Structure 1
């Protein structure tokens, strides 16, 4: 009998559209920005859109929608580039990240640093379309963006730092639309952090063996065999925070129905989770795109 084939856990699939359609000079930068792996973009965008909808109590302005969407794309890409620069000596020894441009030697740190400067400059140009208060809120996220890549060296909670940075656009949305960040909006942001700790821990279990070998830290390593219960707990906190936060910002009854659907979806994810199956864990991580869709849909329904 043949032994079962170990799944390919690399997050870069050689021979994909980047290799087939882009000139060689552009390929490393496309992968640095994660344009070939847009899951992180969607996980950033949907909570931001939900906050814009809640703050506007209806459909947000077109300019606001464009600016915040581009901002989420650029800052997520800049964060990914920063992460790859910081982790370049580790990524080559991790199955999931071994083909990343810096780890595989396709480009060097100087080229990546110039690309990062360009990403940050483009993101900064969007501040011209925002209010002074929102600009100040935006600048406050930069320390989190630059600290996160190093967190796994000294804390088991890099997922919490990433969650705070990833979902910062929710706070900016309220600042821009309402000129303030009410307590309910802040609670929605905390719920998004709990959600990210949950789904990013699922993701971290894909790398757990490699991270242990390299002496790195994560919530997956911290939770160990209790990961399923811990992830379920953070998902429960997510639903509670989003439910109470939504009520505090004036969401109507249909929003509560949306929260029930999200609770069922996150409960299904927790039930399906298998800490010994990295391939399944990765698919469950991807399933959180639907969670983001459901959150934005619930926010829309809650404005009726």
Structure 2
């Protein structure tokens, strides 16, 4: 049992449903999937919903009931693929996690789950995700399969580059491309710009997250943008904030200007603007030497990412 006394993971939300409601035998596997820390599922899901809502807004005449399934399927798939990806991450990082205070309580280094059990659990989650993916069109299916390469590479990025957050961004925002394609049947410039904006957003929030482990990472040789930027973090984050807004705004413009629907364009741009204000608030609150505060700000990005989702949804209706 971990230092948490009952198997709880150190950075899980206190009183979460896994630790309080889930059957005891399932808890180690749900913790392995980060079900007790849902922020990662949100951060994987929200770009999917951006892509879907903006695609509908750009071609409102093509909206069908199947879009409701894309919306729900992305949510289920995000939960499962985030779980599979985190399981893979913990398998590859099991020795490193044991050396970091915040991660030593995770199921594999703490002995709650064996490596063999984790592999079986990972495959099960991935196969169920595949069944959902197979309900989409062939182009979206191809994109979904291609994303597996990014998921496989990410855990190793912090071993060979100071920019592992880029690899996380490449994987976590892939849904913007996939969901757009699931609706339209093809890719275009608008979702690519949305995707690139999401990557910049990931650099913003995951640099904040990485500051929790800065000292432990330095001791064991793990690289991150938090260590790379150090005291200049605020300057870099301001740059990522601006880049995020520019890229997402450009994606909105490319998608909606051709429709001639000025109201939809304004509403969608307001969503990007609202997200920008949320990120500005985070930057004002940031204290890179306060790990608890960094975790709270990181988690607040669920709300930051929901803002454009809601505005894009309204733009699809007007």
Q: Normalising to structure 1: TM-score of the pair?
A: 0.93
- Whole-angstrom CA distance in 2 between matches of 1:280 and 1:33: 24
- The reply to whether residue 148 of structure 1 matches residue 154 of structure 2 is yes
Aligned counterparts, 1:1-304, within 5 A: 10-12=10-12, 17-57=17-57, 61-250=67-256, 251-303=264-316, 304=318
- Whole-angstrom CA distance in 1 between matches of 2:312 and 2:16: 35
- Whole-angstrom CA distance in 2 between matches of 1:28 and 1:206: 23
8 Å CA contact 2:164–2:224 kept in 1: the answer is yes
User: Which residue matches 1:4?
Assistant: none
Q: Deviation per CA, 1:57-88, whole angstroms, max 9, x where unpaired?
A: 26772221122221111111111111111111
Q: How far 1:238 moved relative to its partner? A: 0.4
8 Å CA contact 1:89–1:103 kept in 2: the answer is yes
Q: How far 1:15 moved relative to its partner? A: 7.0
Q: How far 1:13 moved relative to its partner? A: 6.1
**Unmatched segments (≥5 aa) in structure 1:** 1-8
Bigger CA drift: 18-27 or 256-265? 18-27
- Whole-angstrom CA distance in 2 between matches of 1:275 and 1:182: 38
- Whole-angstrom CA distance in 1 between matches of 2:13 and 2:42: 19
Q: Quickly say closer, same or farther: Cα 1:264–1:21, change in 2 above 3 A.
A: closer
Q: Deviation per CA, 1:162-196, whole angstroms, max 9, x where unpaired?
A: 11111111101111111111111100000000000
Q: Quickly say closer, same or farther: Cα 1:72–1:275, change in 2 above 3 A.
A: same
Q: Quickly say closer, same or farther: Cα 1:282–1:253, change in 2 above 3 A.
A: same
Q: Normalising to structure 2: TM-score of the pair?
A: 0.89
8 Å CA contact 1:12–1:100 kept in 2: the answer is no
Aligned residues: 296
- Whole-angstrom CA distance in 1 between matches of 2:254 and 2:15: 49
8 Å CA contact 1:12–1:99 kept in 2: the answer is no
Q: Quickly say closer, same or farther: Cα 1:132–1:281, change in 2 above 3 A.
A: same
- Whole-angstrom CA distance in 1 between matches of 2:16 and 2:40: 18
- Whole-angstrom CA distance in 2 between matches of 1:218 and 1:192: 18
**Unmatched segments (≥5 aa) in structure 2:** 1-8, 257-263
User: Which residue matches 1:6?
Assistant: none
8 Å CA contact 2:181–2:187 kept in 1: the answer is yes
Say what the alpha-carbon RMSD is for the aligned residues: 1.7
Q: Deviation per CA, 1:183-215, whole angstroms, max 9, x where unpaired?
A: 111000000000001100000001111100111
Q: How far 1:17 moved relative to its partner? A: 4.1
Q: How far 1:135 moved relative to its partner? A: 0.9
- Whole-angstrom CA distance in 2 between matches of 1:260 and 1:169: 21
Please state whether the residue corresponding to 2:160 is helix, strand or coil: coil
